[in-house]
Chain A
Amino acid sequence: MKHKIDLYKCYKKTNKKSIKPSLNTIVIIVPIIVLITVLVSFYNQQMQIKQRTSELQVNQKYLDDESVKLEFEEVIEMQTTLESKVEYTKQLDDLNEVLGNKKKIYSYVFNAIEAVLPQEVFVDLVVVEKFDVVIHFKSSSPTGPALLARNLRRNSSFTNVTYNGMKQEGGSEATLYTGSINLNLTGGF
């Protein structure tokens, strides 16, 4: 008697059995896999916590280092000093700007007055106070005072020239005309 064997069917049958796990196995394996996943996550977290904690300790060690603290405080103090010094420099700058622009009374004020004096006029007294000037004069001629006032008015060093008039003094032999002129110096003091 001759038996016919279908080899393909045999192969398929045996192969199916070996690849496909039984339902019982699957039902047990799935919760186990889930459990393992949870445990791995837990382990991973624990490892991270451990690592971060050790990093925290290293950082804290650096922060607590006395020499580092001392150096840091020293630099902070230097920084504060620098800030106050920069502020002080600014104040000195502003101070020097004001002082540098302060006008000074030089001899040129008197030279400028003397330069415009008519021949017959003599200065008695010149009072200079900041930018106010008062000139007290004597003149041997009646035209002298007016000429002086005109000359002063034409000089660019002076401004606001106020001539207050003149007065005759003395006898007929030595007649003198006296008076005063007020003016301002240009610029500031």
Chain B
Amino acid sequence: MILTNREKILLSVLVSLVIVIGGFVLILSPNQTKLNEIQSRKFIQEEEIQTMKSTIESRFYIEEKLEETNQLIKENVDKISPPLINEQCELFLIKLASRYNVELISVSYDESTYVKPSIESAVDKHLPYKQANGLEDEEVILESTIKEAPSELMHKYIVIDIEGSHTMIKNFIDGLYTGGYKTMFVNSVDMDYESESASIILDMFSLPEAIWE
């Protein structure tokens, strides 16, 4: 059988098309899918490796930051009284009383409770208006506002009864702030000038022992 030139060309084109389509469908396309899959797996792996490497590389920075933060915590913790031990506090009060020539009659300690320290302020909300109109001597209506800390501390009331001259009692009150108890506040004072005695209630905030350690 002899093929014409036209038939030869058509046959060649047909064979070429079969090779291209067959090759693409049967070989190249499945291979490309496999290659894409491998590449996406590699991409995920590389991202993972990058994360790991950058995390490991940040070790020095984290160590430095940890050191800084520990220092900050120490500084902040140093501003708060250590956990209160009643007998230690009493020894301090006895020493203070003897320094200011005051007789310590009684000391009693309340149960410790966890509280959020707060500041209570009494403000006359009408004061700006009164000042503007020269009415400062008018009756003052105080309204209290409370600002609360976000975390809790151990709180204890300490009640002290003392006897001595009012000058010495006043010195004793000021002396209460000179000990190592940085967050001890005089909550109230009943100063009896006639009998030369006073009853003092202390607000003691201290760190829980677990944090102190």
Residue positions of A touching B, CB distance < 8 A: 23-24, 26-28, 30-31, 34-35, 38-39, 41-42, 45-46, 48-49, 52-53, 55-56, 59-60, 62-63, 68, 71-72, 74-76, 78-79, 81-82, 85-86, 88-89, 91-107, 109-111, 122-131, 153, 159-160, 184, 187-189
Contact = CB atoms under 8 A, between A and B. Distances in A.
A109 B76 CA distance: 30
Interface in B72-96: 72-73, 76-77, 79-80
A86 B68 CA distance: 10
A49 B31 contact: yes
Interface residues of B, number: 78
Nearest to B54: A75
B153 interface: yes
Given A56-B45, A91-B151, 13 more contacts: A27-B12, A31-B12, A31-B15, A56-B38, A72-B56, A92-B80, A95-B80, A98-B118, A98-B148, A103-B119, A107-B173, A127-B188, A128-B189
Closest CB pairs A-B (n = 7): A188-B121, A107-B170, A38-B23, A92-B76, A129-B188, A98-B149, A105-B186
A53 B41 CA distance: 10
A105 B203 CA distance: 11
Nearest to A74: B59
B32 A45 contact: yes
Contacts of A89: 69, 72-73, 76
B137 to A, nearest CB: 8
A14 B79 CA distance: 109
Contact of B170 (A86, A110, A184): A110
Interface in B149-208: 149-151, 153, 166, 170-171, 173-174, 177, 183, 185-194, 205
Contacts of A189: 119-120, 185, 187
A184 to B, nearest CB: 6
Contacts of B52: 63, 68, 72
Contacts of A82: 62, 65-66, 69
A34 B193 contact: no
14 contacts: A27-B12, A34-B20, A41-B23, A49-B35, A59-B49, A72-B56, A79-B58, A92-B77, A99-B117, A103-B119, A104-B177, A127-B188, A128-B191, A184-B142
